[in-house]
């Protein structure tokens, strides 16, 4: 007898936060690329993926790259950011945003967020004025579309114009979302997408730089290909990078992009199920939905991750207790991003703070949100949540 056959209660499979959702379409696409002989970083699948990405995001140009981080890095270089410059960005983000600034030799200035997690426009103004007064060479603004919600570009864009600063939009988490009737990635002078394995759509690893400026797109393509001049012998006048996306992965990306609306619908259904569930729980609200609206006419998330914020004074339990409970049920849940100004590696960066990002970090958690989560998996998560709440009720009311 095999050892596992003796166990009476087999361990339940782990439910992940946001695993890749791939199937037959992706398999066919990758095989098609493989059999075509274009097993290279470049090829017809890359060209087609770039055209389809540009069309989906309302942009003139898309450059497919090895990661979202590479897209941020080259996006900053293409906007003229370099050593000694300053870039204003959000502290409530993933480390890649700030790493990319440091790769260019520029210095990040970190700005706190509002209660939705988006960069605080009031503090952005304060940071700009304060740094200007200290004669900083401010070169760009890098807002982040946090957890699939497009940032407040209607406020940010006029400020950037007044200050004569370019905007690079970190749309790594927001592909497929919309705001003001425009798609994520269409805002700013350029935008970066990520196709990492945990995002709404994936190429297993990849990203793209979006822009309407042909010269900028060409420059990014050139930098990403080792800054090789267009001559037969190998001629280089600048330091380049090996950042292009492989043709095989672009094929995977095309299959995912075709399924993006359907995958977003599935994430949305999950969001609504969580919303109904927590509507009955005082002291818990969904991040960015303080007004109870999951979506408005001109403002639609891609529902990448559903995050909840817990008020322990009202609930009698904390977000970390819930994370630990779910972990025991082999269900992955996590705190929100730990703000960049609290990261040892970025400790030297100036920060303009209002306490909100730290509040969200201490009281928020993200729940399993993958589009591949089936009925059984969703049921398991909701049951684990119910059991936790029942236990807490008994604990507090005898």
Ligand X SMILES: *Cc1c(COP(=O)(O)O)cnc(C)c1O
**What are the residue numbers of the active site?**
199
Question: How far from 313 is each of 4, 75, 316, CA to CA, in Å?
Answer: 44, 44, 6
Kindly state the smallest distance separating residue 206's Cβ from ligand X, in Å: 7
Among candidate residues 325, 313, 322, the one with its CA nearest the CA of residue 364: 322
* Residue with token string 């993926």: 49
Rank residues 72 and 284 by Cβ distance to ligand X and give the closer one. 72
**Structure-token pair, residue 69:** 């981080």
Q: What is the spatial distance between Cα 245 and Cα 65, in angstroms, rounded to a whole number?
A: 5
**Among residue numbers 355 through 384, which ones bind ligand X (CB under 6 A)?**
none
- Radius of gyration in angstroms for the set of CA atoms belonging to the chain, rounded to a whole number: 22
Count of residues of this chain found to bind ligand X when the rule CB under 6 A is applied: 14
Binding of ligand X by 207 (CB under 6 A): yes
Kindly state the smallest distance separating residue 94's Cβ from ligand X, in Å: 4
Among candidate residues 97, 242, 112, the one with its CA nearest the CA of residue 174: 97
Rank residues 196 and 319 by Cβ distance to ligand X and give the closer one. 196
Rank residues 267 and 380 by Cβ distance to ligand X and give the closer one. 267
Kindly state the smallest distance separating residue 394's Cβ from ligand X, in Å: 38
Kindly state the smallest distance separating residue 167's Cβ from ligand X, in Å: 15
Q: What is the spatial distance between Cα 126 and Cα 131, in angstroms, rounded to a whole number?
A: 8
Site string for ligand X, 149-178 (x = CB under 6 A): ---------------------x-xx-----
Binding of ligand X by 144 (CB under 6 A): yes
| DSSP element (H, E) containing 193 | strand 190-194
DSSP state of 203: S
Those residues with Cβ within 8 angstroms of residue 107's Cβ, 6 or more apart along the chain or in another chain: 84, 85, 86, 87, 101, 349
Which residue sits closest to ligand X, CB atoms considered?
68
Rank residues 99 and 155 by Cβ distance to ligand X and give the closer one. 99
Binding of ligand X by 301 (CB under 6 A): no
Kindly state the smallest distance separating residue 283's Cβ from ligand X, in Å: 28
Out of 18, 67, 120, 363, the residue judged to bind ligand X by CB under 6 A: 67
**Among residue numbers 230 through 259, which ones bind ligand X (CB under 6 A)?**
none
Contact assessment for residue 65 and residue 243, using Cβ atoms and an 8 Å cutoff: yes
Kindly state the smallest distance separating residue 207's Cβ from ligand X, in Å: 5
Question: How far from 329 is each of 217, 305, 390, CA to CA, in Å?
Answer: 47, 20, 15
Rank residues 68 and 185 by Cβ distance to ligand X and give the closer one. 68
> Which window, 62-70, 123-131, 152-160, 234-242, contacts ligand X (CB under 6 A)?
62-70
Rank residues 147 and 388 by Cβ distance to ligand X and give the closer one. 147
Those residues with Cβ within 8 angstroms of residue 103's Cβ, 6 or more apart along the chain or in another chain: 73, 76
Q: What is the spatial distance between Cα 68 and Cα 118, in angstroms, rounded to a whole number?
A: 19
**Among residue numbers 68 through 107, which ones bind ligand X (CB under 6 A)?**
68-69, 93-94, 96-97
CA angle 246, 254, 54 (to 5 degrees): 95
**Structure-token pair, residue 179:** 């705001």
* Residue 159: how many other CB atoms lie within 10 Å: 15
> Which window, 30-38, 67-75, 106-114, 117-125, contacts ligand X (CB under 6 A)?
67-75
Kindly state the smallest distance separating residue 171's Cβ from ligand X, in Å: 9
Rank residues 68 and 339 by Cβ distance to ligand X and give the closer one. 68
Among candidate residues 200, 211, 133, the one with its CA nearest the CA of residue 169: 211
Residues in contact with ligand X by the rule CB under 6 A:
67-69, 93-94, 96-97, 144, 170, 172-173, 194, 196, 207
């Amino acid at each position: 007898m095999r050892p596992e056959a003796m166990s009476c209660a087999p361990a339940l499979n782990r439910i992940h936060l946001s695993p890749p959702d791939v199937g037959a379409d992706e398999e066919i696409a990758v095989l098609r690329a493989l059999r075509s002989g274009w097993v290279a970083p470049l090829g017809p699948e890359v060209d087609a993926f770039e055209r389809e990405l540009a069309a989906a995001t309302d942009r003139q140009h898309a450059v497919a790259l090895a990661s979202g981080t590479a897209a941020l890095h080259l996006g900053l270089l293409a906007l003229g950011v370099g050593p000694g410059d300053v870039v204003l960005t959000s502290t409530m983000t993933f480390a890649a945003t700030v790493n990319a600034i440091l790769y260019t030799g520029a210095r990040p200035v970190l700005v706190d967020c509002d209660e939705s997690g988006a960069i605080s426009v009031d503090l952005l103004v304060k940071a700009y004025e304060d740094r200007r007064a200290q004669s900083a060479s401010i070169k760009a603004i890098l807002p982040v579309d946090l957890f699939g919600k497009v940032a407040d570009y209607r406020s940010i864009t006029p400020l950037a114009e007044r200050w004569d600063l370019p905007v690079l939009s970190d749309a790594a988490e927001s592909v497929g979302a919309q705001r003001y009737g425009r798609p994520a990635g269409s805002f700013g002078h350029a935008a970066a997408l990520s196709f990492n394995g945990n995002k709404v759509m994936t190429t297993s690893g990849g990203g793209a730089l979006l822009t309407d400026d042909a010269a900028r797109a060409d420059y990014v393509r050139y930098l990403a290909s080792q800054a090789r001049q267009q001559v037969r012998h190998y001629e280089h006048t600048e330091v380049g990078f090996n950042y292009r996306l492989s043709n095989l992965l672009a094929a995977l990306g095309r299959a995912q992009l075709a399924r993006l609306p359907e995958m977003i619908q599935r994430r949305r259904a999950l969001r609504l199920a969580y919303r109904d569930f927590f509507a009955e729980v005082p002291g818990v609200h969904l991040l960015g939905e303080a007004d109870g609206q999951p979506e408005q006419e001109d403002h639609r998330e891609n529902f990448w991750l559903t995050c909840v914020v817990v008020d322990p004074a009202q609930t009698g339990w904390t977000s970390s207790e819930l994370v630990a409970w779910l972990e025991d049920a082999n269900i992955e849940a996590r705190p929100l991003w730990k703000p960049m100004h609290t990261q040892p590696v970025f400790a030297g960066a100036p920060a303009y703070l209002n306490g909100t990002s730290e509040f969200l970090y201490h009281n928020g958690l993200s729940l399993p949100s993958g589009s591949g989560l089936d009925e059984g998996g969703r049921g398991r998560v909701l049951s684990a949540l119910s059991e936790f709440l029942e236990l807490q009720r008994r604990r507090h009311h005898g």
